[in-house]
Structure 1
Amino acid sequence: MALRAVGEEVDPGCPLGICEGTGWVVDEEGDATRCECAERQIRVSAGRRVGRGIPKRYRGVSFDRQPICDLDPSLLRGVRHYVRELAKNLDKGRGLWIHGDVGTGKTSLAMLVARAAGEVGRSVAVYSVPQLLAELRGSFNPDSDASYDVLYEQLTSVDLLVLDDLGAEKQTEWVLEQLYRLVNERWQDGRAILATSNSPDPHRDVTLATLREQIERLRSARISDLSAAELERLVSRLERAAGELGSVMVTGRTDPVTQLRQAVGSRTVSRLIEICDEPVMIFGPDLRIANAGF
């Protein structure tokens, strides 16, 4: 899901109440200077060239509509506070990190914030991280609509960059470097990031239990092709792997910072924390499945 900036319905007058929509400010001596709103409009226009726009599913998102209204109000306090102070937060480069279970409305909340930013005349680019990386790779293609440098400039210059599903991408050295470079430059320039990330799937507990069950069956089986020593070594390896899997699952579930460090690297998370502060935690059942009646 790659999206462009929102903000199509910008007030034709000056959003700052300074230049009455002319884009210029004239002082007492008759000298004219560009109004700050003109620079903001340039960023909004640049943001419009990034991606495809907010999907139809999310265009009417609000705190009063599903799935957000189905969430525990106490879970939404951090997001509500961020939206109330949105202009101030963006001016200071303050972002937001939303972490939690799959299907709990994290993307809807991110779209709500993006929409609110567009409504006050700010430029916004919204991407799922896997799609963002795909577009960055594609920008090296000679037939690409935008070069890597042009796309990167757009991503670093918008007022708010939304990174949905951070940590879902396949980890490679190139991926880690691209994410670090992008987050680091926005951190240096004082520009906000809104990130969403998923906690580990709790159903992997079932996988872990099944793995342990298979280990026990293997331990009691008679396998003619393996010596007792070879079989014992195999079982030991499986037990060690299961133990490591269980450890990672527990760590990731209780500590989203540690989980994200494992996914995108310590340098990137360090700067993201400084931009966004501690994550807003959204836990609960998968609302898509619940609303489908399963």
Structure 2
Amino acid sequence: MEQAMKTGLESWFQPLPDKQCPFCGHMLRQLTHTVASGETYLLGIYETCTCAAAQSEQAAAMAAKAEAERKRVEDTRASTVHALMAASGIRGRYASRTLQTYAVPPGDERALKVALNYVLKFEEQREKGMGLYLYGTCGVGKTHLAYGVAHALIEQLHSVICRSATDILLELRGQMDGTANGTEYETMLRYLTCDLLVIDDLGKQQVTDWSMAQLSTIFDGRCQDMLPVIVTTNYSDAELIERLALRSDKKTAASIVSRLHEMTYDVPMSGQDYRSR
């Protein structure tokens, strides 16, 4: 044992003299650890006294350490949520549009139920590559509901991007023309790889062969990679196809609408105008 202790001392800590417990006076020894080879090493710390006062102090120290770790995890999470929110594109009036602040228009109770269930089962829906297709007349709360889902998923630490179809195309065009920061490739990559992409007001954007190609790239890429989208539009399928085909190929427009239904659950909304309430 003496030889084993000597070998251990050469590798780890020097011997410490016994010390008294400050509460009861019991003599406390330095802790040791014996490895598989039989060598015993000094650990450089003392055993904890078994008296009530010493045990209480140790419990308080452990509680303080646990609280500090909880606070560290909480602060890290809050920082991550803040960064995800900043990267999401949610700003202005939509920064406060959550599922909790959504006032259900009469007749659209199902829409809110679908949205809440989607958040609850997002991991399952993401594995399926399924999103939501919110459609109906103006002002019934489609954007609020979509952004509410986005808020909830960001709180779950998912990467989400929320943009109108028009803004997406303006950003890509600006980068292609050199009038906007970043590159078209970098921006397209973000739209293709985020956990959830929310595209608001599909059908209101300016339609060209180029814009249709960009939208097709986004929808096709996310569909192939099983990544969900949430889309809002004021138009029926027939109206949306006509809108998308104004200056482009109607067949391509129809394929985009078909692809959207393939990768989303239909959520019709027809309640009272949300903005007039």
Taking structure 1 as the reference length, the TM-score comes to 0.59
Q: Structure 2 CA distance, aligned partners of 1:266 and 1:280?
A: 19
Could you tell me which residue of structure 1 aligns to residue 127 of structure 2? 91
Identity of aligned residues (%): 30
**Structure 1 residues 164 and 85: CA distance shift in structure 2, 3 A:** same
Any stretches of 5+ residues in structure 2 without a counterpart? 1-70, 245-252
Q: 1:92 offset after TM fit, Å?
A: 2.7
- SS at 2:180 equivalent: coil
User: Is 1:258 the equivalent of 2:238?
Assistant: yes
Note if contact 2:98-2:151 (Cα within 8 Å) is conserved in structure 1. Answer: no
Q: Which of 116, 123, 133 is the aligned partner of 2:152?
A: 116
Could you give the per-residue CA deviations for residues 149-179 of structure 1, whole angstroms, max 9, x where no partner exists?
A: 1111111010100000011112211111111
Could you tell me which residue of structure 2 aligns to residue 156 of structure 1? 192
Q: Structure 2 CA distance, aligned partners of 1:260 and 1:101?
A: 13
- SS at 1:139 equivalent: helix
Aligned 1:198-217 pairs, distance under 5 A: 198-199=234-235
**Higher CA-based Rg:** 2
Q: Which residue identity is paired with 2:239?
A: Q
**Structure 1 residues 150 and 116: CA distance shift in structure 2, 3 A:** same
Q: 1:143 offset after TM fit, Å?
A: 4.7
Q: Structure 2 CA distance, aligned partners of 1:266 and 1:49?
A: 34
Aligned 1:280-291 pairs, distance under 5 A: 280-289=267-276, 291=277
Q: Which residue identity is paired with 2:140?
A: T
Note if contact 2:164-2:201 (Cα within 8 Å) is conserved in structure 1. Answer: yes
Backbone CA RMSD of aligned residues: 2.7
Q: Which residue identity is paired with 1:84?
A: L
Q: 1:13 offset after TM fit, Å?
A: 5.6
Q: Which residue identity is paired with 1:260?
A: L
Note if contact 1:101-1:283 (Cα within 8 Å) is conserved in structure 2. Answer: yes
Note if contact 1:63-1:69 (Cα within 8 Å) is conserved in structure 2. Answer: no
Could you tell me which residue of structure 1 aligns to residue 48 of structure 2? none
- SS at 1:107 equivalent: helix
How many residues align? The count is 194
Q: Structure 1 CA distance, aligned partners of 2:72 and 2:259?
A: 36
- SS at 2:129 equivalent: coil
Q: Which of 124, 127, 130 is the aligned partner of 2:166?
A: 130
Aligned 1:1-294 pairs, distance under 5 A: 53-68=89-104, 72-199=108-235, 256-264=236-244, 265-277=253-265, 279-289=266-276, 291=277
Q: Structure 2 CA distance, aligned partners of 1:48 and 1:141?
A: 28
Note if contact 1:50-1:151 (Cα within 8 Å) is conserved in structure 2. Answer: no
Could you give the per-residue CA deviations for residues 26-60 of structure 1, whole angstroms, max 9, x where no partner exists?
A: xxxxxxxxxxxxxxx8xx97x77856x32242333
Which structure's relative contact order is higher, taking Cα pairs within 8 Å and 6+ residues apart? 1
Q: Structure 2 CA distance, aligned partners of 1:125 and 1:63?
A: 17
Note if contact 2:139-2:275 (Cα within 8 Å) is conserved in structure 1. Answer: yes
**Structure 1 residues 142 and 74: CA distance shift in structure 2, 3 A:** closer
Greater Cα offset, 85-94 or 147-156: 85-94
Greater Cα offset, 72-81 or 107-116: 72-81
**Structure 1 residues 170 and 143: CA distance shift in structure 2, 3 A:** closer
Q: Which residue identity is paired with 1:259?
A: E
Any stretches of 5+ residues in structure 1 without a counterpart? 1-10, 15-20, 22-40, 200-255
Note if contact 1:67-1:108 (Cα within 8 Å) is conserved in structure 2. Answer: no
Q: Structure 2 CA distance, aligned partners of 1:177 and 1:72?
A: 34
Could you tell me which residue of structure 1 aligns to residue 65 of structure 2? none
